[in-house]
Structure 1
Amino acid sequence: MIRLLKFFWWSGVAIFCAALLSFSGAYLYLSPSLPSVESLRSIQLQIPLRVYSHDQKLIAEFGEMRRAPIAFADIPEDFIAALLSAEDDNFSQHHGVDFSSLLRAATQLLKTGQIQSGGSTITMQVAKNFFLTSERSFSRKITEILLALQIERELSKEEILELYVNKIYLGHRAYGIEAAAQVYYGKPIGELSLAQMAMIAGLPKAPSAFNPLVNPTRSKERRDWILGRMHRLGKIDQASYLAAIEEPIAASYHVPKPELSAPYIAEMARAEMVGRYGSEAYTEGFRVYVTVPSNLQESANRALHEGLRSYDQRHGYRGPEARLAELPREQWPARLAQQRSLGGLEPALVTQVEQSGILVMLRNGEEQAVTWTSMQWARPFLNSNSMGPVPRKPADIVQPGDIIRVKRLDDDRLVFAQLPAAQSALVTLDPANGAIRALVGGFSFEQSNYNRATQAKRQPGSSFKPFVYSAALDNGYTAASLVNDAPIVFQEAGMAEAWRPKNDNNTFLGPIRLREALYRSRNLVSIRLLQDLGINKTLSYIERFGFRREDLPGNLSLALGTANLTPMEIATGWAAFANGGYKIEPYLIERIDSRDGQQLFVANPRSVPGLTPLLPSSGVPSSESVPPSAEQIIDPRTSYILTSMLQDVITRGTGRRALALQRADLAGKTGTTNESKDSWFSGYNADLVTTVWSGFDQPASLGRNEYGGTVALPIWMSFMGEALKDRPQRLLPQPPGVVTLRVDPFSGRAATPGNPNAYFEVFKSEDTPPSMSEFDPSLQAPGSPLPIEEGAPLDLF
């Protein structure tokens, strides 16, 4: 017996020594390649890119990992207790390795021949998560043990636990407990109940198997087991335990919801950040603040959506998006569930048609009524110029099984709607520094990611004429100059037929003042101005506004707005009229902060001297940065005179609808291209310059009697009315060198005293007109018939 005891004793000693030697050898072999634990103190966890409005409302989040790091002091004690009960109840006692757990894992391996558990402590999991792969091998396990021992020597228990809870993956792209609390319950970890904390504490072992959204039964079993462990270990009392296990699984998927809907803005900011930082833009936790305030963006969204729906309803109902009448009714909800909400319009399934209206099912299974009064606009669409008969009852419009669109009003009622076929874009700039204050690139970003505000090159029509008029005013013309509004024919070699430009209404007014020609949008006057100035000279002048010459036609059609330009380019050019003649560069990102709140970038745009931006910067530029001055590209007096002419477009011309805003500080111009394929309105005061385009993505007529003043202008008015509400009227003051004189309207000369037809006009001091004594009486009066001129345009190439 003594010899047997000695055998077992020395065998044990030998096994211990062998294990010790093996471990020491492994340590000596692996220690040179072990990473530095000190790096854990400065570890940078992946945090998504977040984009915020000027007033700090969340617009979007970009990144594969949803993570919101939390400090140890902010972790609830009940959660720590739940986590340790589930994962490592001996955490506070061991030094990184729990040998009893390792022995238990080894025993399970010997019994089953398979790895049942790794026997890992939280410290060992930190070592694996930060430094190692998920490979199952003895060498990796030994490395994990060595690292865990090293971590315990250099970090406190609090630091280790903080690293663990912020790193672990907990399902549905949630990394860390704070992100998991938001994903499953839509609130911070500190606001969760004991049962909810226990549920999250059960996820690290197997995020998919114990996920409450995928497998609520197993999730509840795991949660209740953890609660039982907490009770047995004395972490919670009997009453808390019983109350927690009775709590139902109330988890649901919570996608981080933007506080402001601005998807086109978000995509522009994302693209710029990737351009600056590459793939790190998605992982370094940057917080990007853009120049767009939430109230202006919301106004822009609303104006564009309402304007497109109004235009769309004027042209009738194109029918349901799908007809399910031939399918079994039990298949209808599944087909409805495949539809998405677009532009605030919800998909709905018609289930019942009555005289007073229809009953529709929404995607959540709820049924709600839609009244007949909201459907009466829905005459059948035939083409852009005609509609079918007026419907007399709901059955004339829809049938059961139709998938339609409805809009939910503020009082929760539903009204009949349809997705507009036309599109639109709106861009608003601050003329003082180029800050983008609002931008919408289409009816719905989900429907089409194509940003029409920055990508759609379309012909601006007459909204381009102010650039030609500006060139004229900077080259000796005045607002009182007379130009002949008469027919003209151009014929040159190589042309199949002569070009006979005409005015919109095919009438001609004879000699007409430049001011009147602009607010009446006379095409022939614009062509004659361009012909007199010269193509090359005018192109060089217009390039100052930021336009590229390759986008501008090198012929007289330039005067009619046949260039291919985006709404952003038009708004940028128009800003020079609003700010006194300075060129600004549009910019979106105002400030970039690091994950720690340190300013990494603050915009320092070229600004107009003496002109205060609508909003102050949200960043604090360094003391060394001096805001550079914007480049003066046109005479400020030209800007002032042209603004007064563009004000007449609103008071007397094609933009008269804008008088409803009851503001005297607005200037603007409509634009409509041939066959009404493009509808524009650009306008401004000293605070904001806004351009609106409307049309079809594949150019087609908007319809008879649809112009810039009927499609684009109402959208512009809706936005500017809200944007400038309660703001004082603001136009730039008259610059030096401008004089006001009484002018004879028939000659453009300075009027004699007592002339009953005289009016006041503004001039540059050096361009004042001669007196009436020099008037040539042979000059024909406005409206007189004029012969057709035969000639060739100048400087054509």
Structure 2
Amino acid sequence: MEKVVYSPRHVRPKFRRKKRFDWAALFIWGLLIGIFMLFMTLGGIYGVFNYYMHDLPSIAPLESYEPKAVTKIYAADGSLISELFEERRTPIKFDKMPSELSQAVLAIEDKHFYEHPGVYTNSIIKATLENIRAGRVVRGASTITQQLARTLFLSREQNYSRKIREALLALEIEHAYTKNEILELYLNQYYFGFGVYGVEAASVLYFNKHASEMTLAECALLAGMLKRPNVYSPMNDIAKAKKRRDLVLNEMLRDGRVTEIQYKEAIDTPVHPVYRKRKKSMAPYFAEYVRSYLTKKYGDELFRAGYKVYTTLDPKLQRFAEIAVENTLVKFETDYKSRFKPTREEYVKQFFDTPPEGSLTPYLQGAFICIDAKTGYVRALVGGRSFEESNWNRATQSKRQVGSAFKPIVYATAIDNGFTPADVMLDAPIEQKWGDDIWKPTNYDNEWHGAVTLRHALNKSINIIAIKLLGELGRSMGKNENEFMSGGARQVIDYARRMGISAQLDPYPALALGSAGISLIEMVSAYSTFANNGIRVEPIFIAKVVDRDGRVIEQNAVRKNDALTPQASYVMTSMLESAVNHGTGRNVRKKGFDRPCAGKTGTTNDYSDAWFIGFTPQYVAGSWVGFDKMRSMGRGMVGGSIALPIWAEFMINAHKDLPVQNFAELTEGISHAVICERSGFLAGPYCDRSREEIFVKGTEPIRSCDIHLTPMATQEEDFWHYTPSKGREIHNELEF
């Protein structure tokens, strides 16, 4: 039998029993790996946390955080004059915000605001997955707290680093503040388009009402604007604004934040933002003066501190002043069109109603100031005809020659040093040599009036007498007429300083004629001395400044300075009353102002500047007219014809509702006597021109007139050649 050989593949393999799987070891290894991975993750999280916490901004400033707020400037009656701000914002407390507003914001921005600790995990996961799929940041998941953290402390760049910092800050904020406090910060901080921040400013802009008065539809509209205020603003696109508002309302209904009835009423409300016509700024020159002062004192803080600045401005008087200036200048531009080219109307039309902004204008300009006679409170200020066309403040910044309006300061110096309204001086041609030059001053009318009293000389604004007074005042201060003049001028300068004039004043004879450049506000302040029995009141623009917490941080009391004796001031007021009633200021009466008042005109060489400064027992005011670039207004354009009408029109309106008040009588240190107007001595029985005169006690005449000794006295000849002595030497014939 043949032997069969089997190959290995035919050999039946020997069965081996499999080993049992070690589940316990797998579990242990898995557990160890899990623990390792957990620690690695926690370590990574801790490392990331430490990394970002290292340079994370501190939220400590929130403890004293005050959002940038508008500083508001108010008139004396509480009406708003102007606002100063970096961001137009008026912060309000959470309890002043309507509940519908917070509900609308939560419905569209953060439904789980009251549930999460600052970050909402579900939203983060969804946003992360979407962003991974897109390969870039396409969706955010920021809660209201995160948005607040970003706005206050971080940039708006889209990256994961910023998002991590944002989340960490949000957690810190939630730990430190209540939910309502966070909402208050958020709603006061966010931008709502057109330069406004916070819900209060937004409500005023879009609805012309306070936030507390907003309806549900209005609350939903603002809530919808938070995401993209410029896109969803009703002032840019009403259709988009309505669509976004309706989305907010739908979300509120779905969340159960409003009822069906509330929803239907709100959804049917049309979107009609209030387009308020831009109001012309009240008293822009006044407001700019106040802003400049505040900026120098408080710096940039002024524009974000939310101060309330209470000024002294009276809006009614301000309107009177602005109308008086424009009415008068338009009338002169119309009546003398060939002189005043271009007129303001022509200038504006030349630039299609939008003239270029600048400091100076080519047309006729004017300025006006009124202050309270007793307090110095600035009640009205006009710095020019249009702040938009020229922001140069001609009432406070311009220093122009004041002409004869300066003469009362010369006369006040004389009266306070023993001169009297009855003193007689000779108005005749004079010459004075200064170096190689010979000065030959003349009077406005180029006429000579002979021997005149000081009262008459001031009434008629006689130049020669004002110049001679300088020499008389300085007669004890030198050896020749030039030294007399310089000495007298220095004495007048001293009185001018006491009366509030800080401009440069040179000790030359021309000082008596108002050759110095002085601002209108300084001149008005100086004349307040006469209205206050010798006490000057400094002009005050700001009564007080209050911070956002109601603390008074600045308060300005009335500031008074002794400048003249009460007796000298009383005499000067009487002399300036005569200037209005019988002198160069008599147009005040022709214009219809019949109240007790006093004042003085001023006109400079070639009719380039015209002034009138005057006062009543209630107000001191001044007006100026001229061109910015000095040029003649033409013959006859004197203070009494072109500047005085502004003053008169204003005063008529300003005193309509005030009781008639006389200047206070002064008896102490004052005496009265009937004098001869030709000699200045006590009037005799044959004096044809006599009047009762007032004197500082001790300066009244003690001699009787010795010109009119008989009824047939040749008065005219004696009038020209008489030189009074009156117990002290008066040098009417100065030797030049």
- Mapping for residues 231-242 of structure 1, pairs under 5 Å: 231-242=253-264
Q: Which amino acid aligns with 2:231?
A: A
2: CA distance, partners of 1:691 / 1:162 = 50
Q: Identify the residue that residue 333 of structure 2 maps to in structure 1.
A: 312
Residue 584 of structure 1: how far off its partner (Å): 3.1
Residues 737-757 of structure 1: CA deviation (Å, up to 9, x unaligned): 110001112211112357553
Aligned residues: 680
Deviation at 1:532, TM superposition (A): 2.4
Contact 1:289 1:592 in 2 (8 A): yes
* Residues 290-342 of structure 1 deviation map (CA, whole Å, 9 limit, x = unaligned): 122222222222221222222222123858749999xxxxxxxxx95857999
Q: Map of 1:498-537 to 2, 5 A cutoff?
A: 498-533=438-473, 534-537=485-488
Aligned with residue 521 of structure 2, among 562, 568, 578: 568
Q: Is the 8 A contact 1:489 1:791 kept in 2?
A: no
Amino acid of the structure 2 residue aligned with 1:505: D
Q: Distance in 1 between matches of 2:567 and 2:601?
A: 23
Alignment of 1:692-771 (within 5 A): 692-725=623-656, 726-752=658-684, 755=687, 757-771=689-703
Gaps of 5+ in 1: 326-334, 343-418, 608-629
Q: Tell me the amino acid that sits aligned with residue 406 of structure 2.
A: F
1:174 is matched by which residue type in structure 2? Answer: V
Could you tell me how far apart the structure 2 residues matched to 1:184 and 1:15 are?
A: 56
Tell me the distance in 2 between the aligned counterparts of 1:122 and 1:183: 24
Q: 1:160 to 1:221 in 2, by over 3 A?
A: same
Deviates more, 1:574-583 or 1:244-253: 244-253
Aligned partner of 2:571: which letter? I
Q: Which residue of 2 aligns with 1:591?
A: 544
Residues 161-176 of structure 1: pairs in structure 2 closer than 5 A: 161-176=183-198
Q: Aligned equivalents of 1:322 and 1:264: distance in 2? A: 21
Answering whether residue 572 of structure 2 is matched by residue 645 of structure 1, we say no
Q: CA deviation at 1:162?
A: 0.4
Tell me by how many angstroms 1:661 deviates. Answer: 4.4
Give the residue type in structure 2 aligned to 1:503: N
> What amino acid is the match of 1:301?
E
What does 1:312-711 correspond to in 2, within 5 Å? 312-316=333-337, 321=346, 421-495=363-437, 498-533=438-473, 534-546=485-497, 551-607=504-560, 630=561, 632-659=562-589, 660-711=591-642
Contact 2:707 2:718 in 1 (8 A): no
Query: 1:29/1:453 Cα in 2 relative to 1: closer, same or farther (>3 Å)?
Result: same
What amino acid is the match of 2:432? F
**CA gap 1:764/1:158 in 2 versus in 1, 3 angstroms:** same
279-288 vs 290-299, which moves further: 290-299
The code of the aligned residue for 2:629 comes to Q
Alignment of 1:229-268 (within 5 A): 229-251=251-273, 254=276, 257=279, 261-268=282-289
Tell me how far 1:432 sits from its aligned partner.
Answer: 2.9
Q: Answer yes or no: is the 8 Å Cα contact 1:640–1:735 preserved in 2.
A: no
Q: Secondary structure at the match of 1:202?
A: helix
Contact 2:686 2:708 in 1 (8 A): no
1:462 to partner: Cα distance? 1.0
Q: Partners in 2 of 1:648 and 1:22 — Cα distance?
A: 95
CA distance in 2, matches of 1:298, 1:182: 26
CA distance in 2, matches of 1:775, 1:507: 24
- Give the conservation status (yes or no) of the 8 Å contact 2:426–2:732: no
Matched, 1:142 2:172: no
Distance 1:768 1:503, change over 3 A: same
**1:189-228 equivalence runs, <5 A:** 189-228=211-250
Q: Judge conservation of contact 1:490–1:791 (CA < 8 Å) in 2.
A: no
Q: State how far apart, in whole Å, the 2-side matches of 1:207 and 1:255 are.
A: 22
Partners of 2:265 and 2:362 lie apart in 1 by 53
Stretch deviating more after TM superposition (49-58 or 498-507)? 498-507
Question: Residue 425 of structure 2 contacts residue 732 of structure 2 at CA under 8 Å; is this kept in 1?
Answer: no
Match of 2:155 among 116, 129, 133: 133
| Deviation of 1:205 (Å) | 1.4
- Contact 1:509–1:782 under 8 Å retained in 2: no
Matched residue type, 1:514: L
1:23 and 1:337 map into 2 onto residues whose CA distance is 66
Task: Output the CA distance in 1 between the equivalents of 2:183 and 2:718.
Answer: 88
Cα distance 1:236–1:782, how it changes in 2: closer, same or farther (>3 A)? farther
Partners of 1:336 and 1:505 in 2: how far apart?
44
The match for 2:142 is 120
Further displaced range: 716-725 or 738-747? 716-725
Hey, what's the Cα distance between the residues in 1 that align with 2:332 and 2:552? Answer: 45
Report the Cα distance in structure 2 between the residues aligned to 1:273 and 1:703, rounded to whole angstroms: 40
Give the conservation status (yes or no) of the 8 Å contact 2:368–2:622. Answer: yes
**Paired residue type of 1:295:** K
In terms of mean alpha carbon deviation, does 632-641 or 133-142 score higher?
133-142
The residue identity in structure 2 corresponding to 1:683 is G
User: Which residue of the partner structure matches residue 8 of structure 2?
Assistant: none
Structure-2 change in CA distance of 1:705 and 1:315 (3 Å): same
Q: CA deviation at 1:437?
A: 2.1
Alpha carbons of structure 1 residues 181 and 336: separation in structure 2 relative to 1, 3 Å? farther
CA distance in 1, matches of 2:665, 2:303: 46
Which of 165, 171, 177 pairs up with 2:199? 177
Aligned CA RMSD, in angstroms, stands at 3.3
Q: Which residue is 2:482 aligned to? A: none
Residue type of the alignment partner of 2:605? N
Structure 2: which 5+ runs fail to align? 1-21, 474-484, 723-730
Q: Kindly tell me: are residues 11 and 52 of structure 1, through their superposed partners in 2, closer, same or farther at Cα, counting changes over 3 Å?
A: farther
Q: 1:119 Cα shift?
A: 0.6
Q: What CA deviation, in whole Å up to 9, does each residue of 1:523-552 have, x standing for no partner?
A: 121122223223333333333333668722
**What fraction of aligned residue pairs are identical, expressed as a percent?**
35
Give, in whole Å, the separation in 2 of the partners of 1:541 and 1:163.
Answer: 61
User: Matched residues in 1 for 2:593 and 2:274: separation?
Assistant: 50
What TM-score does the superposition give when structure 1 sets the normalisation length? 0.79
The answer to whether the 8 A contact 1:663-1:729 is kept is no
SS at match of 2:88: coil
**SS of alignment partner, residue 544 of structure 1:** helix
Q: Secondary structure at the match of 1:209?
A: helix
Distance 1:521 1:324, change over 3 A: closer
Is the partner of 1:267 in helix, strand or coil?
helix
Larger radius of gyration: 2
Partner amino acid, structure 2, of 1:706: M
Query: How far did 1:780 drift?
Result: 7.1
Q: What secondary structure is seen at the aligned counterpart in 2 of 1:545?
A: helix
The residue type equivalent to 1:561 in the other structure is G
Give the partner amino acid of 2:459.
Answer: Y
The change in CA–CA distance for 1:42 and 1:425 in structure 2 (over 3 A counts) is same
1:90-101 matched pairs, under 5 angstroms: 90-101=112-123
C-alpha deviation, 1:277, in angstroms: 1.1
Which amino acid is the alignment partner of residue 293 of structure 1?
D
Deviation at 1:463, TM superposition (A): 0.9
Assess if the C-alpha contact under 8 Å between 1:510 and 1:781 holds in 2.
Answer: no
